[in-house]
Amino acid sequence: MPIEVGQDSSNTRKTLSAGGATIAYYSIPAAEAAGLGDFSKLPAALKVVLENMLRFEDGGRTVSVDDIKAFSDWAEKGGQNPREIAYRPARVLMQDFTGVPAVVDLAAMRDGIKALGGDAQKINPLNPVDLVIDHSVMIDEFGNPRAFQMNVDREYERNIERYTFLKWGQKAFNNFRVVPPGTGICHQVNLEYLAQTVWTDTDQNGEEVAYPDTLVGTDSHTTMVNGAAVLGWGVGGIEAEAAMLGQPISMLIPEVVGFELSGRMVEGTTGTDLVLKVVEMLREKGVVGKFVEFYGDGLDHLPLADRATIANMAPEYGATCGFFPIDDETLRYLRQTGRDEDRIALVEAYAKENGFWRGPDYNPVYTDTLHLDMGTIVPAISGPKRPQDYIALTGAAPAFHGYVKGIREGKDANGRSEARWEGEGGAPEPQDIPGDEGHHKRGFVPTDDGAYQLHDGSIVIASITSCTNTSNPYVMIGAGLVARKARELGLTRKPWVKTSLAPGSQVVSAYLEAAELQDDLDAIGFNLVGYGCTTCIGNSGPLAPEISKCINDNDLIGVSVLSGNRNFEGRISPDVRANYLASPPLVVAYALVGDMNADIANGPLGQDKDGNDVYLKDIWPSQKEIADLVEKTVTRESFQEKYADVFKGDEKWQAVETTDSETYDWPPTSTYVQNPPYFQGMSKEPGTISDIGGAKILGLFGDMITTDHISPAGSFKESSPAGQYLVEHQVPVREFNSYGSRRGNHEVMMRGTFANIRIKNEMLDGVEGGYTLGPDGAQTSIYDAAMAYQDQGTPLVVIAGEQYGAGSSRDWAAKGTALLGVKAVIAESYERIHRSNLVGMGVIPFEFTGGDTRKTLGLKGDETVDIKGLEGDLKPGAMVPCTITYGDGSTKEIELKCRIDTGVEKEYVEHGGVLHYVLRNLARAA
């Protein structure tokens, strides 16, 4: 379908020649010549958005000349001009956890538009959509040559209903492609294959147009592709659906923070060490809702693989995106990864012609700046529960001891518990724990040869996982070399460590095998387990029963070390309490020692065949060793070969059968895919925003409540509301799968909302899990309480602290909130995506003002909340009155800031959500 471009009333459409062809484009220098402003000092990231305004300028219906001029004002005002604009990305990227509910919504919208008298074919993506199935493979099998095939077989057994549905969607919808299971992780597939840096398409007049490659994705780490100068960020599925249906994204012109990199990395350090320092610095700086652009001479020494790692973790440092401009390294990477030479020529010509090129004179205006000398980077990890909790490797063991002390102190007199030992002859003698000051607990795992000790700090998961780092050949080759040197010296993983290797694309396996490093990784337990997110998303699979029993019987603090981007509480495994992010080579090293108490920076990892101590420096490869192998084995040909049939899939995918039908025939017995209730009985006209009266508090939460807390992705127990629902529907516990895999069924996801095993509702005294007080004042599950309040017709609110909704772009965190009957969330501050998702589901976000917080107000959870000033002419960002009635009958008047930020967002809430808004508009146009 041709792209619809604007009127070009300012004569900014020009042509350029590249790769043997002439192509049209929208010229920023031409806009300057037309008197629209001075754009020469804009950061490249913002020029991408400006070009979007030029291309879609339509006389003011959605984009006006004043919108374009606002970018010049932005530069003149020192990087600030928060004007509302309508932005249209070129394409949409999805993964299956978030993609299934998005396709469910599209299928439901087809039913909905027919009910409103419209045409079902109006519900079709207008922009290209790629969905990569990467979130479903789970590590059931590991540490042996059959692990990959067994995990794939199990994946299809668990997910055949979902895959059948996605195949239907691929047939039913235009502009919608599915990358089958076992191919890779969506962001790595995007970086290595889908992204083009400069996109091309025909317009409504049949003329070829070049423009910056842009996208939004239903996963927060969509930002990874910014490393290749492709502007993209994560949104919730509901916002992505609106974008694919032609609805522009309403946003404010963002502030852009410049991050100057100088110097170069030193021996013994990796791109992972660099990004963990960047995350710490930017979290401290505060960049939520802002673009970050990296610049400086250091980029001359920073491979695109390292840039992609930094860009990937933009959600962890809180930014909308972390952008790297186009330069020679961009072109080198495009060539290495098999892009067409004509496209590479176009990227260079377009970037230089239109002012996107980072040359020696690149010196834009930024809202604010900060600086990092890469020569100061040291080996590091982050944890135990937030990505920004940076720890230099030399301080890792002491930091862990402090963490244990904080948990254990005061819980029992000597910080230990009696180990439960059922073997003959009594428990073995306890072994010393490095650095233990009487705070660590311990237990024993029986084996055929006796037993081994587990204690606080035992590493039970070591996983090379996630596109964040497996997209980077330097750290992957580095990990392989660490494994090789360890193997040669006779070292291997500790028996209690569950090891796994899950690359983000098949190309990784190609170069590891070409370098003959996969054999070395296999030898110490890092066998291939699948191509997907696995441990990073919480699909780490079960631990051995005896290890799980030992941890839970003795209340041990089990540890995971992973090369991922997220280490939030309750995310990686229900048996693991402390999670650390590390580079792939350090993941291998920690698997060898098996203990977070060990000082691996200075102390021995183990002994060689002759009984000599082996230190990290003995097995760490030099930068030259790594670079030589990367140069030899990471080839253009391997990328071209592995991506030649990317949409074809294996025999299992080809054998999945589905139907040809315009609307979906919802299977009534499915526990994976159900028709959601959003559009059932919907009126043709929108309603109005009403005041909120007599609302009760469903949950009272602290700071940094993540979307993992609100809508967990991992496993759940039979005793949970979701588990009880599945048992009632004759699903055995073994087939529960995960919350993430069941996002196509609102009945499961409603029950899973606020159900993270580590979430703490401050209405209860120290209780973990999804509990609250029901209408009768008794403790119950949040789901059961919400249903009881709905039966009474009582509206609900959620109260929280700072950074509410941090983490994944998880639309179910908002969908579940809405379906539980929550009308408003009141927090001290929000992360960008979740605030937008709440609005997109018709839930109004509010912020405390004037120093008020849940603590200063003395909230206990038994209060009643009334919010006025919402009816009539509500302005974006308005201050509104709120009355809190306490349990004793006393009241307090406070003022809240309404975080409906734009006029378009107000319309969304009036309609009951963004999809209702789009559906009604499409029905009218039918």
- pLDDT by residue (tens digit) across 813-831? 999 999 999 999 999 999 8
- pLDDT (tens digit per residue) in 81-116: 999 899 999 999 999 988 898 999 999 999 999 999
Is-above-0.85 flag for pTM?
Answer: yes
The single residue listed with the structure tokens 């294996």 is 650
- In the structure encoding, which two tokens stand for residue 474, read together? 């330097």
Amino acid at 62: T
Question: Residue 751's pLDDT is what?
Answer: 98
Average pLDDT of the chain is: 93
| Closest listed residue to residue 445, CA positions, set 299, 550, 555 | 550
CB atoms within 10 A of CB 179: 26
Nearest CA to 555 among 411, 718, 766?
A: 411
pLDDT of the residue at 617: 97
CA distance 294 to 319: 12
Q: Would you state the pLDDT for residue 597?
A: 96
pLDDT(362) > 90: yes
Q: What is the pLDDT of residue 632?
A: 97
Specify whether the CB–CB gap between 195 and 324 falls below 8 A: no
Q: Which two tokens stand for residue 496?
A: 């209690």
pLDDT tens readout for residues 398-413 = 999 999 999 988 554 3
Write down the pLDDT at residue 571.
86
pLDDT of residue 437: 73
Which tokens is 825 given? 């969330």
Q: Answer whether residue 242 shows pLDDT above 80.
A: yes
Q: Are 568 and 589 in contact (CB under 8 A)?
A: no
In this prediction, residue 412 carries a pLDDT of: 40
Q: According to DSSP H, which parts of 319-435 are helical?
A: 328-336, 341-353, 396-408
Q: How far apart are the C-alpha atoms of 785 and 763, rounded to whole Å? A: 13
Work out whether the CA dihedral 500, 719, 759, 739 comes out positive or negative.
Answer: positive
Q: CA angle, corner 127, sides to 123 and 131, nearest 5?
A: 90
| 30 pLDDT more than 90 | yes
Give the pLDDT of residue 417. Answer: 38
Q: What is the pLDDT of residues 411-437, one digit of tens each?
A: 543 333 344 445 555 567 788 888 777
CA distances from 324 to 87, 222, 243, 296, 364 (A): 20, 14, 24, 11, 13
Is 784 in a helix, a strand, or coil? helix
* Class of residue 649 by CB neighbours under 10 A (exposed 0-12, middle 13-18, buried 19+): buried
Section 447-473 average pLDDT: 94
Q: Torsion-angle region of residue 132: left (phi > 0), alpha (psi -120 to 50) or beta?
A: beta
For residue 85, give the 3-state DSSP assignment. Answer: strand
Structure tokens at 415: 């910080």
Whose CA is closest to 306, among 276, 331, 270?
270
Note the helical H segments in 15-59.
28-33, 44-56
Euclidean distance between CA atoms 772 and 776, whole angstroms: 11
pLDDT band at 547 (very low <50, low <70, confident <90, very high): very high
| The domain made up of 692-925 is a member of CATH 3.20.19.10 | yes
Q: How confident is the model at residue 427, as a pLDDT?
A: 60
Would you say 443 and 468 are in contact if contact means Cβ atoms under 8 Å apart? no
380-634 belongs to which CATH class? alpha beta
Query: How does pLDDT run across 903-912, given as a tens digit for each residue?
Result: 889 999 999 9
Rg for the chain, CA atoms, rounded: 27
**Nearest by Cα to 198 from 48, 71, 57, 87:** 48
Residue 239 has pLDDT above 60, yes or no: yes
pLDDT of residue 377: 98
Residue 630 has pLDDT above 80, yes or no: yes
pLDDT at position 800, please? 98
Give 11 or 885, the one with higher predicted confidence.
885
Residues paired with 864 in a beta bridge? 696, 885
Torsion sign over Cα 288, 293, 298, 299: positive
- Determine the pLDDT at residue 418: 40
User: What pLDDT was estimated at residue 199?
Assistant: 96
d(CA 496, CA 328): 46
Mean pLDDT of 378-394: 96
CA 541, 96, 183 angle in degrees (round to 5)? Answer: 75
The two three-digit tokens of residue 846, written as one number: 């509010």
Q: How many CA atoms lie within 13 A of 563 on its CB side?
A: 34
3-class state of residue 150 by DSSP: helix
Tokens at 469, concatenated: 């780092």
pLDDT tens per residue, range 214-235: 999 999 999 999 999 999 999 8
Q: What percentage of the chain exceeds 70 in pLDDT?
A: 98
The pLDDT value recorded for residue 426 is 58
Q: Which of 670, 536, 732 is nearest to 159 (CA)?
A: 670
| Helix (H) / strand (E) containing 278 | helix 271-285
Torsion from C-alpha of 866, 869, 874, 879, nearest 10 degrees: -80
Render pLDDT for 548-606 as a digit per residue (tens, 0 to 9).
999 999 999 999 999 999 898 888 998 999 999 999 999 999 999 999 999 999 999 99
Q: What is the pLDDT of residues 126-153, one digit of tens each?
A: 999 999 999 989 999 999 999 999 999 9
- Residue type present at position 163: Y
Residues 168-186 pLDDT 10s: 999 999 999 999 999 999 9
State the span(s) of the chain assigned CATH 3.30.499.10.
Answer: 380-634
Backbone angles phi and psi of 69, in degrees to 5: -60, -25
Segment 861-866 shows an average pLDDT of: 97
DSSP one-letter code for 253: P
Give the Cβ contact number of residue 406 at 10 Å. 10
Domain with CATH 3.20.19.10 in the chain: 692-925
Cis peptide upstream of residue 384 (ω within 30 degrees of 0): yes
At 326, phi and psi to the nearest 5? -70, 135
Query: Which pLDDT belongs to residue 926?
Result: 58
> Counting Cβ atoms within 10 Å, is residue 576 exposed (0-12), middle (13-18) or buried (19+)?
buried
